[in-house]
Amino acid sequence: GCCLVMKLGRGVGWRDFCTWALDVSGTECDKAELCSSSVCVGSVEELKILSGKKFLLDIHLPELLVFPPQTDFHDNRLYTSGHIILQDKASCLPAFLLSPSAGSHVIDACAAPGNKTSHLAAILKNKGHIFAFDVDTKRLATMNTMLMRAGVTSFKLAQQDFLTVDPQDPKYSKVKYILLDPSCSGSGMVARLPLEEAALSAERLQALAGFQRRVLSHALRFPAVQRLAYSTCSVHREENEDVVHAVLQEQGSAFRLVNAFPSWPCRGLATFPGAECCLRASPADTLTQGFFVAVLERCGEEAAVPS
Ligand code: SAM
The residue among 87, 67, 84 whose CA lies nearest residue 75 is: 84
pLDDT value at 17 more than 90: no
Cβ of residue 162 lying under 6 Å from some atom of ligand 1: yes
Among 2, 92, 233, 278, the one annotated catalytic:
233
CA distance 255 to 298: 4
Cβ of residue 183 lying under 6 Å from some atom of ligand 1: yes
Distance 209 CA to ligand 1 centre (A): 14
Q: Which residue has the higher pLDDT, 165 or 126?
A: 165
Which pLDDT value is given to residue 50? 73
- Per-residue pLDDT tens for 252-304? 999 999 999 999 999 999 999 999 999 999 988 888 899 999 999 999 855 44
Which pLDDT value is given to residue 6? 54
Which pLDDT value is given to residue 5? 56
CA distance 53 to 26: 10
Instruction: Say how many C-beta atoms besides its own lie within 10 A of residue 68's C-beta.
Output: 16
- Show the DSSP H helices in 8-136 as ranges: 14-22, 28-38, 44-48, 77-80, 93-98, 115-123
Q: Whose CA is closest to atom 25 on ligand 1?
A: 134
Which of the residue ranges 52-61, 171-180, 198-207 has the most confident prediction, judged by mean pLDDT?
171-180
First to last CA, the chain: 25
Cβ of residue 230 lying under 6 Å from some atom of ligand 1: no
Which pLDDT value is given to residue 149? 85
Q: Which residue has the higher pLDDT, 224 or 197?
A: 224
Percent of the chain residues topping a pLDDT of 70? 80
Let me know if 35 is a catalytic residue: no
The mean pLDDT value for 15-34 works out to 43
Q: Which residues are 227's β-sheet partners?
A: 177, 297
Q: How confident is the model at residue 231 (pLDDT cuts 50, 70, 90)?
A: very high
Which of the residue ranges 50-59, 84-93, 96-105, 191-200 has the most confident prediction, judged by mean pLDDT?
96-105
CA distance 243 to 250: 11
CA distance 24 to 38: 17
Q: Could you tell me the maximum CA-CA distance found in the chain, to the nearest angstrom?
A: 62
Q: Which residue has the higher pLDDT, 48 or 31?
A: 48
Which of the residue ranges 5-19, 190-204, 266-280 has the most confident prediction, judged by mean pLDDT?
266-280
Percent of the chain residues topping a pLDDT of 90? 56
Of 88, 89, 98, 134, the one to substitute when testing ligand 1's pocket (max ligand atoms within 8 A of C-beta) is 134
Which pLDDT value is given to residue 306? 46
Which pLDDT value is given to residue 25? 34
Using the atom order of ligand 1, give the atom closest to the CA of residue 163.
23
How big is the CA angle at 155 (ends 7 and 172), to the nearest 5 degrees?
130
The mean pLDDT value for 69-85 works out to 79
| pLDDT, averaged across the chain | 84
Of 135, 140, 289, the one to substitute when testing ligand 1's pocket (max ligand atoms within 8 A of C-beta) is 135
Cβ of residue 135 lying under 6 Å from some atom of ligand 1: yes
How big is the CA angle at 238 (ends 293 and 236), to the nearest 5 degrees?
65
**Residue 181 three-state SS:** coil
Which pLDDT value is given to residue 4? 52
Helix (H) or strand (E) holding 246: helix 241-251
The ipTM value here is 0.99
Does the pTM of the predicted model rise above 0.90? no
Which pLDDT value is given to residue 46? 67
The mean pLDDT value for 173-185 works out to 97
Which of the residue ranges 35-44, 185-194, 249-258 has the most confident prediction, judged by mean pLDDT?
249-258
**Residue 177 three-state SS:** strand
The residue among 76, 77, 158, 80 whose CA lies nearest residue 114 is: 158
- CA-CA-CA-CA torsion sign (283, 46, 42, 114): positive
C-alpha dist (Å) from residue 234 to 150, 152, 183, 242, 284: 28, 29, 10, 12, 15
Residues 6+ apart with CB under 8 A from 164: none
Weakest mean pLDDT among 184-188, 192-196, 273-277, 298-302: 192-196
The mean pLDDT value for 151-160 works out to 92
